Chain A
Amino acid sequence: MEERCLCQPSEALVFACSGGSNVGQIANQAAIELDKSGIGRMFCLAGIGGHIAGMVESTKVGKIIVALDGCPVACAKNTLEHLNFRIDIYLDVTELGIEKLHEFELAKEDVSRVVDKVVERLKSLTMVK
């Protein structure tokens, strides 16, 4: 396996809700796609909720925090804010008109829409900064 250096904090750390619905899983899949494409680095929301010291400390050095929720219940947002992390980019998948359902056949187009929206917000954020 190629050795990687982990000493450069990513620009954008991505936390996704990954809850028990289509929209939770769309948020999760979008986070995976953002990581795979090198746009952000997917981090563990459960690690923040579980107060895992290594993950909490790693999050403290992130430059941009992206929280992706499936629905307005906002578990990802609340989990991060519980430890006083500042969320720079927030998206609730239902904002895009995707209905929350208890089913798990995800449409690739829906995942792409979430990814595109995050990229759009990242661009406007970095232009402002």
Chain B
Amino acid sequence: MKIKILGPGCPKCKMLAANVQEAVSKMGIDAEISKVENIDEIMKYGVMVTPGLVVDEVVKSAGKVLSVEEIKKIIS
């Protein structure tokens, strides 16, 4: 599974990244987590409000700092 956090690096993006990391650790799944910080690259996903969460190239959310539990539901 490939998970991308879209965001230029502001606190909300960092919070989402931390929650994603925690969710993946708790679930014990094999996932590659990366950040996309370039706004032009972010907009290629159609995301116009960050942070965005992309799982296997599908946008799952935008503009929200999802909780660990919410992330677990998305990636399970």
Contact = CB atoms under 8 A, between A and B. Distances in A.
Contact of B39 (A4, A47, A60): A4
Interface in A4-62: 4-7, 9-10, 41, 43-44, 47, 52-55, 57-58, 60-62
Contact of A61 (B7, B42, B49): B49
Nearest to A13: B48
Nearest to A43: B48
A32 to B, nearest CB: 15
B61 interface: yes
**Chain A contact residues: over half helix, strand or loop, or mixed?**
loop
**Chain B contact residues: over half helix, strand or loop, or mixed?**
loop
Contacts of A55: 46-48
Contact of A52 (B46, B51, B52): B46
Interface residues of A, number: 20
Interface of B: 7-8, 10, 12-13, 39, 42, 45-52, 58-64
The 7 closest A-B pairs by CB, nearest first: A54-B46, A61-B63, A57-B62, A53-B59, A54-B47, A54-B59, A58-B48
